C-alpha cells in the first residue's frame, strides 16, 4: 500500500465520520516556542488548550513534521526519521475515550477492500496508563483484546502534558508485533524493536499545576471539556504495509537511497556502515526538500542552521561512501519525483529548491577545503609536540564554525594516524547544549504566559477596521499589567489593552505596528506597540499618560495618520521592489522575508550572488517608473485556491486561512497575498531610493530602500555633500570621480614615500641600539624605550634587526614604545640564549603584566601590551630583573 493511499484512506475514513479535513500546516511553526511543527497536534494546540475557540468540533489531518532531537539515531533504527507525517484525528469537547478507541480499531483492522488498513488483530498490542481502568475496559469491549495484550505503563510512557501547567491526561498506544525474528517476546513493555508503535491516543481530561517534571505534577481537577488528540505514524505504517524492513525503504524514501547507491557504486545491503550512510542521505535529502519547499533557506541560525546541518550531514555521508563530487542535483531530483504526487508544491517550486541546495553544496565543498586546511595545521602541530591527540577545542571549532560533523573530523584525524580528544569536545558540546536548553526553557515559559489571553480570545476575535478607518469607537474588554489581568490602570503605568475593535494595525506580515493613541472619557493612552499574541486577538501595549482606564470603558482607537501613510508607502514599495526584482532576475528571485516601517523597507530574496551596480540601478529604475505610472492598487478577498489560481504569490512560511486578501499593483504585474496596509495608487509611494544590497546567507540577498520623504531627504543629503566637494575641490560635478581617484592615488604614493623615509630613519637607530648591549645574567641584552612609533610592525622590525646584528653570542632584545597611545613591548631571543633557557614568551608576559595587560608568544619572539604607558620603564626593568635572575 503506497503512502499516498494510506493518506487517502485516513482522510476519507475520518472525513466520512464528521471530521473537518484540515490541510497540513507549514513545517515552519507559528508557535513562538518551536522552530518547527514537531507533532501533528501542534497546529491544534490553541484549540486543545482552549486558548482559541475551536472552529469545528472534530478534525483530521495528515501533518508534515520535523524533529531533530534524535538526529544521531537516523539510519540506525527502523523508525527514526527527521521528516515524517503524522496522521491525526482530534475532538474538541465532542467524542472522547470510547469513540477514539473504536475509530482506531476499526480503521486498523478493517479489510483493505472495505477501506481499512487491513492489519491482523492478532498482531496488535496496546499500552495504557497504569491507572486508566476505563481505557482497559473500552479496549476489551471494542477490540476484545485479552489482558495479556493490554499492558499498563507509567507516567514516563503513557501520560501526556506540555510540561507546563494546563491540560494533561493519560494516553494509549497501539503497537504492531513484527514477529519473533525481530526480537524477544513480551510485548511493548520490553522496549524492543520487534514491537513498533503505530498510533498514540491522548485522552486530554485533567487540569494540572505545580509541574516539577514530566512525571511529577499535581492534578487539580477534570477538564470541563475533554479533548482527543491522536497520531498515527505514516512512515511506520507504510513500511509495515509495504513489507520492507524500515521507513527508509518505503516508496517516498527508497528512490533517494537507490540514487546514493548508484552514485557511490556501493550496494545497499552489502555493508552495515554503508547502509546507515545511505539511509541518512535518503532521510536528510527528503527532509531538506520539504523544509525548503516551506520556505526555509540554509543559514547559520535557527531553522536555517538545522537545514544546513541536514545538508552537510548528507554531503559527509556521500563522502564516506567515497563520493567527493557534487551529488545534490541527482539526489534532490530523485526525492522530488518521489514526493510530488503527495506534495505537488515540491515540483512547482523545484527550480528555487534546487538552486538553494546546489548553492549550499558548492559552498560546503569549499568549506570542506578551508576546514581541511585548519585540520591539517592542527595535525602538523599535534605531531610536532609529540602528541597523538588533536585538542577537543579544534574539533569543536571545526564543528561549530565550519559545520564539520565530529565523525568527519575523526575520520580525517584517523587518516593522519591521530585521535581526537573526545572528552574535551564533549564538554564544549555539553556547554553549548546547556545554553540552548536554557534558551529553549525561556521560550517555553512564553507559552505559559499566553494562557492569560485565553479568556479574552473566548469573547471573540478582535475586529480590525484599519483598512477603511483611522478612528474606531470600541469597548475595553481587558487590561493586563505584568502578565496578569487587572481591572484598571493609572497614570504612568504600562499595560496591555484588549478592545473589541481597533483601527490600529498589529505588527504582522513584515509591517511594523501602527503608532497612535487610545482615548476615552478622562483617559489618554499612548500606544507603544500592537501585536497579535494569539490568533484572532489584538493586544495594544500602552502607557497611560492621563487619567485611569478600566475594563468596560468606552474608548476610541486613533491611528497617527502621517505614520500610517508612510508605513503604507513603504509596504507598497516592498511589493513594487519585489516585482522589479522578478522582472530583472526572473521568478526564482522569490521573497523570503521582509520588514517595512514608515520611510524604510527591506526585502530578502532567494539569490546566491551580489547584484552588480548596473542591476541595482535597473531594479530601482523599474520600481520608480512603476511609481510614475500611477498604477492602481486594489485589494480583494478570495479563497486561497482562487488567489493561487490567479497567480498570487504567497510568502513562504506565512500562515493563510481559507479566505485571503490579495493585493494587486498594476493588475497582475504585482499580485501578492498580503494583510498589510497600502496606498491607493503607486504614485502615492513618492520615491524609492535603494540604499543597500547585501548577503544574508549563501543563498539569500537583502535589498534595502528608503521611501517617500525619507528617500528624498537622503538624496538631498547626498546632493549637499556633492555640492561641498565641487566647491572644495573646484571641480565640476561630472568630473568629481576622476578628481577624487587622482587625489587617492597621490595620497597612496605619498604614504609609500613617507613609509620609506620612516623605515630609513628607523634603520639608522639600529647601530646605536646594538652598541647599548650589556651583559645581564648569562646573555647580552638590549633593553630600551623607543618613545613613540607609528606601528607595532615598526617595533618588531627593529627588534629582529638588532637581534641579527648581535651575532651568535647569547642575546636578548627587549624594546618598548608607545603605539597609538598604547604601550607595547616586544622581546626576541636568539638560538644561543634559548639554549641557556631564556625564552621570549615569559619575558614579554611579565612585562605586559606591569603595563596592565597581557602578552606572550613563541620562545624566539613574543609581544605584550597594556593600558599604562607611564609604566614602560618599570616593564623593561622587569625584563632586566628576570634576566639577572
Feature table: binding site for Zn(2+) = 571, 575, 674, 678
**Of the candidates 75, 60, 27, the residue with the CA atom closest to the CA atom of residue 228:** 60
Torsion of CA 409, 415, 419, 420, to 10 degrees: -10
The kind and range of the H/E element at 498 are strand 494-499
Q: In Å, how far are 344, 356, 367 from 66, measured between CA atoms?
A: 19, 19, 26
- Please count the other Cβ atoms lying within 10 Å of the Cβ belonging to residue 532: 16
Q: In Å, how far are 453, 642, 645 from 649, measured between CA atoms?
A: 32, 12, 10
Instruction: Give the residue ranges of the annotated binding site.
Output: 571, 575, 674, 678
**Cα–Cα distance between 1 and 800 in angstroms, integer?**
78
416 burial type by CB count under 10 A (0-12 exposed, 13-18 middle, 19+ buried): middle
**Cα–Cα distance between 509 and 307 in angstroms, integer?**
23
**Of the candidates 685, 526, 533, 663, the residue with the CA atom closest to the CA atom of residue 598:** 685
**Cα–Cα distance between 627 and 685 in angstroms, integer?**
7
Q: Can you tell me whether residue 280 is helix, strand or coil?
A: helix
Q: In Å, how far are 779, 810, 822, 864, 882 from 861, measured between CA atoms?
A: 16, 15, 20, 11, 16
**Residue found by looking up cell 469545528 in the block:** 56
Kindly give the pairing relationship between strand 150-153 and strand 124-129: parallel
In this structure, is the dihedral angle defined by the CA atoms of residues 794, 796, 800 and 805, taken in order, positive or negative? positive
CA atoms within 13 A on the CB side of 100: 32
**Of the candidates 346, 365, 330, the residue with the CA atom closest to the CA atom of residue 293:** 346
Q: What does the DSSP 8-state code read for residue 363?
A: H
Helices (H) and strands (E) in the chain, counts: 26, 35
**Cα–Cα distance between 79 and 73 in angstroms, integer?**
9
Residue 588 · residue 355 · CB < 8 Å: yes
**Of the candidates 824, 825, 831, 830, the residue with the CA atom closest to the CA atom of residue 843:** 825
Q: In Å, how far are 599, 685, 691, 738 from 721, measured between CA atoms?
A: 22, 26, 16, 17
Residue 462 · residue 534 · CB < 8 Å: no
**Residue found by looking up cell 475586529 in the block:** 463
Amino acid at each position: 500500500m503506497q503512502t499516498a493511499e494510506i493518506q487517502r484512506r485516513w482522510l476519507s475514513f475520518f472525513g466520512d465520520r464528521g471530521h473537518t479535513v484540515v490541510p497540513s500546516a507549514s513545517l515552519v511553526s507559528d508557535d513562538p516556542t518551536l522552530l518547527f511543527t514537531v507533532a501533528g497536534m501542534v497546529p491544534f494546540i490553541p484549540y486543545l488548550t482552549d486558548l482559541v475557540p475551536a472552529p469545528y468540533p472534530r478534525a483530521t489531518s495528515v501533518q508534515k513534521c520535523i524533529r531533530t532531537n534524535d538526529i544521531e539515531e537516523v539510519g540506525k533504527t527502523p523508525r527514526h526519521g527527521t521528516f515524517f507525517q503524522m496522521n491525526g484525528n482530534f475532538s474538541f469537547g465532542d467524542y472522547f475515550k470510547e469513540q477514539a478507541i473504536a475509530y482506531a480499531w476499526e480503521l486498523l483492522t478493517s479489510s483493505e477492500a472495505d477501506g481499512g488498513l487491513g492489519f491482523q488483530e492478532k498482531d496488535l498490542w496496546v499500552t495504557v496508563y497504569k491507572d486508566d481502568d476505563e481505557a482497559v475496559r473500552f479496549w476489551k469491549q471494542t477490540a476484545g483484546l485479552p489482558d495479556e495484550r493490554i499492558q499498563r505503563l507509567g507516567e514516563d510512557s503513557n501520560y501526556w502534558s506540555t510540561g507546563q501547567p494546563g491540560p494533561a491526561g493519560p494516553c494509549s498506544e497501539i503497537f504492531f508485533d513484527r514477529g519473533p525474528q525481530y526480537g524477544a517476546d513480551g510485548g511493548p513493555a520490553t522496549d524492543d524493536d520487534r514491537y513498533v508503535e503505530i498510533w498514540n491516543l491522548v485522552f486530554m481530561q485533567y487540569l494540572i499545576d505545580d509541574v516539577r517534571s514530566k512525571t511529577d505534577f499535581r492534578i487539580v481537577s477534570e477538564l470541563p471539556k475533554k479533548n482527543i488528540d491522536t497520531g498515527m505514524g505514516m512512515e511506520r505504517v507504510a513500511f509495515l504495509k509495504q513489507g520492507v524492513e524500515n521507513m527508509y525503504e518505503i516508496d517516498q524514501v527508497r528512490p533517494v537511497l537507490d540514487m546514493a547507491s548508484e552514485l557511490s557504486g556501493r550496494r545497499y545491503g552489502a555493508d552495515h556502515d554503508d547502509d546507515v550512510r545511505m539511509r541518512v542521505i535518503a532521510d536528510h535529502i527528503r527532509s531538506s526538500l520539504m523544509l525548503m519547499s516551506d520556505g526555509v533557506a540554509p543559514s547559520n541560525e535557527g531553522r536555517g542552521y538545522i537545514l544546513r546541518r541536514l545538508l552537510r550531514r548528507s554531503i559527509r555521508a556521500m563522502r564516506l561512501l567515497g563520493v567527493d563530487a557534487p551529488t545534490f542535483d541527482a539526489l534532490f531530483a530523485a526525492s522530488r519525483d518521489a514526493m510530488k504526487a503527495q506534495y505537488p508544491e515540491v515540483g512547482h517550486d523545484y527550480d528555487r529548491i534546487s538552486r538553494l541546495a546546489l548553492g549550499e553544496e558548492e559552498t560546503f565543498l569549499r568549506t570542506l577545503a578551508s576546514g581541511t586546511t585548519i585540520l591539517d595545521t592542527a595535525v602538523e602541530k599535534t605531531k610536532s609536540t609529540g602528541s597523538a591527540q588533536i585538542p577537543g577545542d579544534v574539533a569543536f571549532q571545526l564543528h561549530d564554525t565550519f559545520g564539520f560533523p565530529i565523525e568527519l573530523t575523526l575520520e580525517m584525524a584517523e587518516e593522519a594516524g591521530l585521535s581526537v580528544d573526545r572528552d574535551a569536545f564533549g564538554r564544549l558540546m555539553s556547554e553549548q547544549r546547556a545554553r540552548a536548553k536554557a534558551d529553549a526553557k525561556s521560550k517555553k515559559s512564553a507559552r505559559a504566559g499566553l494562557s492569560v489571553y485565553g479568556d479574552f480570545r473566548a469573547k471573540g476575535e478582535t475586529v480590525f477596521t484599519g483598512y477603511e478607518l483611522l478612528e474606531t469607537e470600541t469597548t475595553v474588554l481587558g487590561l493586563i499589567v505584568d502578565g496578569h489581568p487587572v481591572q484598571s490602570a493609572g497614570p504612568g503605568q504600562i499595560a496591555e489593552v484588549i478592545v473589541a475593535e481597533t483601527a490600529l494595525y498589529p505588527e504582522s506580515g513584515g509591517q511594523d505596528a501602527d503608532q497612535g493613541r487610545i482615548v476615552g472619557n478622562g483617559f489618554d493612552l499612548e500606544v507603544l506597540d500592537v501585536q497579535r499574541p494569539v490568533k484572532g486577538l489584538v493586544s495594544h501595549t500602552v502607557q497611560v499618560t492621563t487619567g485611569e482606564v478600566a475594563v468596560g470603558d468606552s474608548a476610541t482607537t486613533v491611528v497617527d495618520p502621517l505614520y500610517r501613510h508612510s508605513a503604507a508607502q513603504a509596504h507598497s514599495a516592498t511589493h513594487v521592489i519585489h516585482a522589479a526584482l522578478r522582472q530583472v532576475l526572473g521568478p526564482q528571485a522569490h521573497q523570503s522575508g521582509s520588514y517595512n516601517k514608515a520611510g524604510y523597507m527591506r526585502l530578502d530574496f532567494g539569490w546566491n550572488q551580489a547584484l552588480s551596480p548596473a542591476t541595482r540601478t535597473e531594479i530601482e529604475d523599474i520600481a520608480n517608473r512603476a511609481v510614475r505610472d500611477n498604477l492602481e492598487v486594489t485589494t480583494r478577498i478570495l479563497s486561497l485556491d482562487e488567489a493561487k489560481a490567479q497567480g498570487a504569490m504567497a510568502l513562504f512560511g506565512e500562515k493563510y486561512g481559507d479566505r485571503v486578501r490579495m493585493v494587486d499593483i498594476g493588475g497582475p504585474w504585482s499580485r501578492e497575498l498580503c494583510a498589510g496596509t497600502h496606498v491607493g495608487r503607486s504614485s502615492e509611494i513618492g520615491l524609492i531610493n535603494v540604499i543597500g544590497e547585501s548577503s544574508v546567507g549563501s543563498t539569500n540577498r537583502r535589498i534595502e530602500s528608503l521611501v517617500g520623504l525619507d528617500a528624498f531627504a537622503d538624496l538631498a543629503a547626498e546632493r549637499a555633500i556633492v555640492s561641498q566637494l565641487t566647491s572644495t575641490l573646484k571641480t565640476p560635478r561630472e568630473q568629481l570621480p576622476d578628481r577624487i581617484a587622482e587625489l587617492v592615488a597621490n595620497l597612496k604614493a605619498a604614504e609609500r614615500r613617507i613609509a620609506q623615509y620612516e623605515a630609513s630613519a628607523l634603520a639608522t637607530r639600529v647601530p646605536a641600539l646594538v652598541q647599548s648591549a650589556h651583559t645581564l645574567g648569562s646573555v647580552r641584552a638590549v633593553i630600551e624605550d623607543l618613545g613613540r612609533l607609528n606601528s607595532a610592525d615598526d617595533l618588531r622590525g627593529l627588534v629582529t634587526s638588532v637581534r641579527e646584528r648581535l651575532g651568535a653570542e647569547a642575546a636578548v632584545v627587549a624594546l618598548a614604545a608607545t603605539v597609538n597611545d598604547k604601550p607595547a613591548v616586544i622581546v626576541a631571543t636568539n638560538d644561543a640564549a634559548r639554549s641557556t633557557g631564556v625564552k621570549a614568551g615569559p619575558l614579554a608576559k611579565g612585562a605586559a603584566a606591569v603595563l596592565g595587560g597581557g602578552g606572550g608568544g613563541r620562545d624566539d619572539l613574543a609581544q605584550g601590551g597594556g593600558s599604562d604607558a607611564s609604566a614602560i620603564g618599570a616593564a623593561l626593568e622587569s625584563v632586566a630583573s628576570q634576566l639577572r635572575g
